[in-house]
Chain A
């Protein structure tokens, strides 16, 4: 928040709903509040991790962590035709893009881009670990010059899928390593850059 507002009451400030975050500005005319909320509100164009919860006729119901389940057509996969259905089972993880998301309608997902290519979207995660983090941390992970991603990169080989809905899936060579990465990411939530780097160094040295 700008300092002028906090200055007026030096000791305690009452913040109403929607005002808990850092007001950010980007040239020329973009303003937004960067917060650490955990509730996901689907919005168009975002890539999210969903869990298939039901198969019904020609659509899948997918839980994306929003207020309502999203629908995903079986034709919205790469190479899918009416005769050639994609192999999707209940409980599978899908990395997909929201193409319909507004407050009045059921959100709708696709696993292809406008050219019909998957480009990494679709069913993934035969094993690995899925967990939830705050939406703020997700954005920090996906930022162009993300410090966290750079620090993680130095550890050991692993794979990660980050959904804008706060879900993160990681997989490393062993279960132990997978758990280490997951725990590190969760602990990144409330740490300064310095704290994080010392922690990462200790893990890399094998002292934890």
Chain B
């Protein structure tokens, strides 16, 4: 039995008033339950009212996978919203005033390093271990340079203005364009520029 047949039969069954009742008894629909449904329909005393198309289907029925295909967008959306509402209702939350974290003005630092500008820990004196002496110079100057660099960066930030940047970028765009153009286009580009640089000739109206 295909799922289309299934839905058709179900639709038919459900149009009856007792259909919902049946569905409560068969929450999981199997082929055997369908068969039973049909039997119920056959021998039920109330006649089948095929003409009544306006009968509403229950929500639980509409939510089933095989019923989804026939639904129009409106009911689909409605169903989804309802489902969402149910899910959000099930979530727990505490009715408390919102927590406001205050800014902490004390920063804890567990190491002495940043306070005392400590030097590199390996030392050699009077050329006992030349490698370490080289390292000492390198590491200790590296630290100083780092500090200087930081200063430089902060100075540089103020050095280049946005206008400078824009001007630079403009020229860059032109040269990149030239680079990626083909040979013929390149010459054309050059010519264009040359033309543009020449003063434009225009007809001047002679004065009387």
Contact-residue bracket for chain A: 35 or more
B116 interface residue per 8 A CB criterion: yes
A163→B121 contact, CB < 8 A: yes
- Asked whether any CB of chain B lies closer than 8 Å to the CB of A204, the reply is no
Of B114, B123, B128, the contact of A162 (CB 8 Å cutoff): B123
- Majority DSSP secondary structure for residues of A touching B: mixed
Q: Counting CB contacts under 8 A, is B180 at the interface?
A: no
Interchain nearest-CB distance for B61 vs A (Å): 54
Contacts of B121 in A (CB 8 A): 47, 95, 142, 161-164
What distance in Å separates the Cβ of A168 from its nearest Cβ neighbour in chain B?
Answer: 9
Q: In whole angstroms, how far apart are the Cα atoms of A44 and B111 in the complex? A: 7
B111 pairs with A143, CB closer than 8 A = no
- For B139, the chain A residues whose CB sits under 8 A away are 119-120
Q: Is the CB of A161 within 8 A of B122?
A: yes
User: Across the interface, which residues of A come within 8 angstroms of B119, CB to CB?
Assistant: 142-144, 146
Q: Is the CB of A188 closer than 8 A to any CB of chain B?
A: no
- Determine the distance from Cα of A47 to Cα of B124 in the docked complex, in whole angstroms: 17
**A15 contacts the other chain (CB 8 A):** no
Question: Which chain A residue shows the least CB distance to B126?
Answer: A157
Rounded to whole angstroms, the CA-CA distance of A154 and B127 in the bound complex is 12
A157 to B12, CA, bound (A): 104
Q: Which residues of A contact B (CB under 8 A)?
A: 24, 26, 30, 32, 41, 43-47, 95, 101, 119-120, 124, 139, 142-144, 146, 149, 152-153, 155-164, 171-173
A143-B117, A144-B118, A158-B126 known, 19 other contacts, Cβ within 8 Å:
A32-B109, A32-B115, A43-B111, A44-B110, A45-B111, A46-B113, A47-B121, A124-B122, A139-B112, A142-B118, A143-B118, A156-B126, A157-B124, A158-B128, A160-B125, A161-B123, A163-B121, A164-B112, A164-B118
What are 17 A-to-B residue pairs whose CB atoms are below 8 Å? A32-B109, A44-B110, A45-B111, A95-B121, A95-B122, A101-B110, A120-B135, A120-B139, A139-B116, A142-B116, A142-B121, A153-B125, A153-B126, A155-B125, A159-B123, A159-B128, A171-B128
Question: Which 3 A-B residue pairings sit nearest by Cβ, starting from the closest?
Answer: A157-B126, A43-B110, A157-B128
